[in-house]
Amino acid sequence: MEPGTPSTSAPETVSRAMYERLQRRYERLMEISRQLNSTLDLGALLRRIIDAARELTDTEEASILLIDPATGELRFEAASNLSRAEMEAIPVPMQGSLAGWVATHGEPVLVRDTRSDARWFSRVDQTTRFSTRNLLAVPMNLHNRPIGVLEAINKRGDQPWSGDDRDILAALADQAAIAVQNARLFQQSDFIAEMVHELRTPLAALRASASLLARPALPSDIFQEIVRTLQGETERLTALTTDFLDLARLESGRTRLEMARFDVRALLDECASLIAPRAGERGIRLTVRPGTQQAHADRDRIKQVLLNLLTNAVKYNVEGGSIAVALDVRSAAQPPAQQPAEQIVISVTDTGPGISAEDQPHIFEKFFRASAVAGRETGTGLGLSIAQRIVEAHGCALWFESAPGAGTTFYFTLPLAAAAS
């Protein structure tokens, strides 16, 4: 209070103090918003939003869930109270969760006692032993459409929530939605730069071939050779553009999965017969081990995953080697929400030279191709990135085991269909 200002009555002092506190909070929000827009690293950005949410609402924890357009489910992308593995293992359904309610209604909710709220999705607490006592959840809207939900959890000292808490978190969520969109667009533009770079090699080969063809009186063997290069490079360009589009769609979440029940054994046989001619050319024996299961997944997408794994097993194998495809069921360590506790595991084992310890961490990176094979076999280096995204969009996992010199086995899990009723 400035010197000389007449003393105010008690209620006015309270309201003035409240006003000042509110003003401080909004100043802080402005400061945070500026910081949010200064990073394009999505992971770092999400962590900053979480910290800001806790600070501005004076809560113990906070979390961000973003809508996964492929499945329509909400996924934890950052949470101060959950580990990465826990976040990945627990998709949150749109129906039957507070976050889902907020995302579908586009309105905030203030819940004083989560346990007595019928919309509460208790699975997070059950699987993590974390205790959600009360929470405030607001939608993260972009152009009036929700992209996710920001939650502030457990008010410190279990103080009552106020309308100001709700307003400030809603304002933060709006800023956060814009920053998330910017970071996503940046990731996308990074991909476009890589893509253009990859297109340059086949284009340069096409250009060189075309100018050679323009020369008069080419000997016929050279002519044939140039035509072969033209054919090979146009095929490579076609494969590249298809893969780019596929990956860009998967990354931006514009791929919708067509989930249905199907017989896995029939799919394995179908893929094996498609690959058999190529395997035969290299004298590679391909076997599908006995067994059958019903899966609940997008059959065409899973076929795409299998065909890439099998093509790799042929390409990166030795002449006269073998490939074994097997199907198993195992109990899932962390089954995706609303899926059976058991999962199908499909494996593709080859007798190739394996993947060196140095290359192993990079196998799923876009455009990565082991230098030992890159010159020998054609490929874009996108097959495994695409396969991994497809499997993950099902809430499942893709991984491999490889000992250099002793072959490689790729594994992936699939949701087991519920028993037929």
Ligand X SMILES: Nc1ncnc2c1ncn2[C@@H]1O[C@H](COP(=O)(O)OP(=O)(O)OP(=O)(O)O)[C@@H](O)[C@H]1O
Stretch that binds Mg ion, among 87-95, 117-125, 150-158, 305-313 (CB under 5 A): 305-313
Q: Pick one of 148, 321, 354, 383: the residue that binds Mg ion (CB under 5 A).
A: 383
Contact status: 202 vs ligand X (CB under 6 A):
no
Please check whether residue 306 is in contact with residue 262, taking contact to mean a CB–CB distance below 8 angstroms.
no
Contact status: 369 vs ligand X (CB under 6 A):
yes
Q: Pick one of 381, 390, 394, 417: the residue that binds ligand X (CB under 6 A).
A: 381
Which CB, 63 or 308, lies closer to Mg ion?
308
Contact status: 236 vs ligand X (CB under 6 A):
no
Q: How far is the CB of 316 from Mg ion (least distance, A)?
A: 8
Q: Which residues, 12 to 51, sit near ligand X by CB under 6 A?
A: none
Q: What angle do CA 402, 264, 369 make, to 5 degrees?
A: 30
Q: How far is the CB of 386 from ligand X (least distance, A)?
A: 7
Nearest alpha-carbon partner for 151 in 263, 63, 36, 223: 63
Distances, alpha carbon 71 to alpha carbons 76, 105, 247, 256, 259, in Å? 14, 19, 16, 7, 9
Q: Which residues, 85 to 124, sit near ligand X by CB under 6 A?
A: none
Give the separation between CA 75 and CA 89, rounded to whole angstroms: 9
Here the tokens at position 271 are 């893929």
Nearest alpha-carbon partner for 241 in 192, 274, 278, 205: 192
Q: Pick one of 355, 390, 398, 416: the residue that binds ligand X (CB under 6 A).
A: 355
Here the tokens at position 76 are 């934890």
Give the per-residue contact string, 45-64, with ligand X (x = CB under 6 A; - = no): --------------------
Which CB, 295 or 363, lies closer to ligand X?
363
The full 3-state SS of 267-326, as one line of letters, equals HHHHHHHHHHHHHHHCCCEEEECCCCCEEEECHHHHHHHHHHHHHHHHHCCCCCCEEEEE
Give the separation between CA 218 and CA 235, rounded to whole angstroms: 24
Please check whether residue 293 is in contact with residue 327, taking contact to mean a CB–CB distance below 8 angstroms.
yes
Stretch that binds Mg ion, among 110-118, 271-279, 368-376, 377-385 (CB under 5 A): 377-385
Q: How far is the CB of 349 from Mg ion (least distance, A)?
A: 16
Distances, alpha carbon 337 to alpha carbons 62, 74, 127, 340, 416, in Å? 21, 11, 11, 8, 13
Which CB, 108 or 381, lies closer to Mg ion?
381
Q: Pick one of 171, 267, 384, 391: the residue that binds ligand X (CB under 6 A).
A: 384
Which CB, 167 or 359, lies closer to ligand X?
359
Q: What does 370 interact with, of Mg ion, ligand X, none (CB < 5 to 8 A by kind)?
A: ligand X
Stretch that binds ligand X, among 101-109, 150-158, 208-216, 374-382 (CB under 6 A): 374-382
Contact status: 363 vs ligand X (CB under 6 A):
yes
Please check whether residue 84 is in contact with residue 121, taking contact to mean a CB–CB distance below 8 angstroms.
no
Contact status: 57 vs Mg ion (CB under 5 A):
no
Which CB, 37 or 304, lies closer to Mg ion?
304
Q: What does 148 interact with, of Mg ion, ligand X, none (CB < 5 to 8 A by kind)?
A: none
Nearest alpha-carbon partner for 318 in 378, 399, 373: 373
Q: How far is the CB of 41 from ligand X (least distance, A)?
A: 25
Q: 48: alpha, beta or left, given left = phi > 0 and alpha = psi -120 to 50?
A: alpha
Please check whether residue 409 is in contact with residue 401, taking contact to mean a CB–CB distance below 8 angstroms.
yes
Stretch that binds Mg ion, among 49-57, 268-276, 382-390, 391-399 (CB under 5 A): 382-390
Residue 31 CB neighbours (<10 A): 11
Beta-strand runs (E) in 156-283: 260-263
Q: How far is the CB of 361 from ligand X (least distance, A)?
A: 12
As to burial, measured by CB atoms within 10 angstroms (0-12 exposed, 13-18 middle, 19+ buried), residue 90 is: buried
Q: How far is the CB of 236 from Mg ion (least distance, A)?
A: 13
Contact status: 191 vs ligand X (CB under 6 A):
no
Stretch that binds ligand X, among 120-128, 252-260, 276-284, 367-375 (CB under 6 A): 367-375
Q: Pick one of 181, 370, 392, 401: the residue that binds ligand X (CB under 6 A).
A: 370
Interface residue list for ligand X (CB under 6 A):
243, 308, 312-313, 316, 350, 352, 355, 363, 368-370, 373, 379-384, 408
